[in-house]
Structure 1
Amino acid sequence: MTTVAEAAAARAAANAGPEPVTFAKALTTAMADAMRADDGVVVFGEDVATLGGVFRITDGLQKEFGAQRCFDTPLAESGIVGMALGMAMNGLRPVIEMQFDAFAYPAFEQIASHVAKMHNRTRGKVTLPLVIRVPYAGGIGGVEHHCDSSEAYYAHTPGLKVFTPSSVADAYRLLREAIASDDPVVFMEPKKLYWSKEAVSLETLRSEFDAGATPRAEGRAAVVRPGTDATIIAYGPAVPPALAAAEAAALEGRSVEVVDVRTIVPFDDETVCASVRKTGRAVVVAEAQGFASVASEITARVQERCFHSLAAPVRRVTGFDIPFPAPKFEHWYLPGVDRILDTLDELQWED
């Protein structure tokens, strides 16, 4: 029999809403749910089984699903991707972890020459349901080889999808969509967001996804803060500072809209351009260096499609064109609120 105290506690919990969940937990749950739903989903990589990965994103998966479906590999990224390629060609759905962004470079030949091209090379006869998880970008006090923003390499490679969530809910949704996709997905995970929390119900996300009730996030940017005076376009690790800058701009009397790209490939021109046409001004924010970058591509697409709606040139706030700096200089390199606000100030408001 339920006591009065227990009933009161249950009501309080219901009224309080869902408990805060970490970005990392959402990713772990997404993989576990996909593995329960499909016996063909396998997870492997360096230290992902016994240790649970460097960031513990795969923690508990081997215990629940066994060593045949979650296992460790040698320290050989090209071998990991090559093995995953063969598995995907033969009906499995591998989800592999590259451990750190720059550690994936030895596997880039496999990714660019084979993973990205197999569907086209076979005239559509061979699908490649493969997810390459890449913890990327800075903000953790790491050094070079541990904090690269390598998304442009993958986005520039036809045949690959490139996802990069910035919220806990999107971490779950996008990873489930990536695993369900019949095309290869490079899944870029902002390392500094692993420990961020949001009050979301993973049970609700799971049931909605399994029932097909969740609108697809792939190819759909999200307006995460409405505004009327300017648009900040960001993705992955750049979304939190973009939101913080918009909040600070509001204190100065400016209404700034923030659009989270969510999937770099496929890119949602419609949502991004609708926002820019409404506000007339745009700033693109990204951690990666600016030259020949995803930020450059977004800027070009907006400039081409929204030229007659713009009151000022599209501006960018990015990392600098240097190798990622030592930890104590990291805060100078990463796009922060002050740099974003300074750029907003330069959008020809005097006219």
Structure 2
Amino acid sequence: MRTYLDFEKPIADLEGRLDEMKRLAETNKVDVSEAVETLEKSIDRLRHELFRNLTRWQRVQLSRHPDRPYTLDYIERMCDQFIELHGDRTVRDDPAMVGGFAEIDGQTIMIIGQQKGRNTKQRQHRNFGMPNPEGYRKALRLMKMAEKFNKPIVTLIDTPGAFPGLEAEERGQGEAIARNLKEMFLLKVPVICIVIGEGASGGALGIAIGDRVLMLENTWYSVISPENCSTILWRSWNYKEQAAEAMKLTATDMTSFKLVDGIVDEPVGGAHYDHAEMANILKRTILDTLTELNALSPEERIDQRIDKFCAMGVVVE
């Protein structure tokens, strides 16, 4: 059963009427194909209109939609083969960070990403997509392995942040993320980073240093979530919508600030509306970007990567 957000209620009402019409037609053996077609067109028009004028907060809500595809969903639909690799070789395996060698249209890549859960048990197992230090160390281990075998790296970013627990700090959360930032700048293979959901703080940045950093249309990327920003400024979560507008955290905003390199379009209605189509779009984007990056030498890629990130930000004296 499809889940609807608050602002999708008009669509939910029309789709409810459509389902009811189809049930009555089937029960009473009545031909209502013309009425069904008219209603489907109305739903399609409404969906296009609604999703063409989304606010920043609505895009944040879409990035967290419970039906939205996660890293393993994309891997399942995009990859012909996938061999998951586990463990950081220091502490343990971190289920919040998944990765391994995959094959897309005959091309081998290393794919790494944060993974959330669908139900309570899975969310606890995946720690709500919030990696511990061993998750970032595992990610770096896999990147170094990809570099050793000269395979490109694709990272899929979807996290509310790195895990902020005491045990994570004791095991060096900050150091693990900082090391990833340093090492990713110097990787000799192509690196593509894609925000597929939430891109929060250093938890996202720890796997987001790449030759191309892309964002799906209905995602966000910022140092803090709108709720936490609202809590700091107004001491209440009630101003999260105003915070989202002020933070300018959407894909369009990030592209205009030159903090990311491009936007990946989603199906009308969001990535959750059609997992298969979204996976096909993402697959084509990855393959096209790899073709572009493979034309450059390792030295050119590293120089461009460093120059791109060094040019970010505004300095005022």
TM-score of the alignment, normalized to the shorter chain, above 0.5: no
TM-score range, shorter chain: 0.3 to 0.5
TM-score, normalised to structure 1's length? 0.34
TM-score, normalised to structure 2's length? 0.36
**More helix by proportion, 1 or 2?**
2
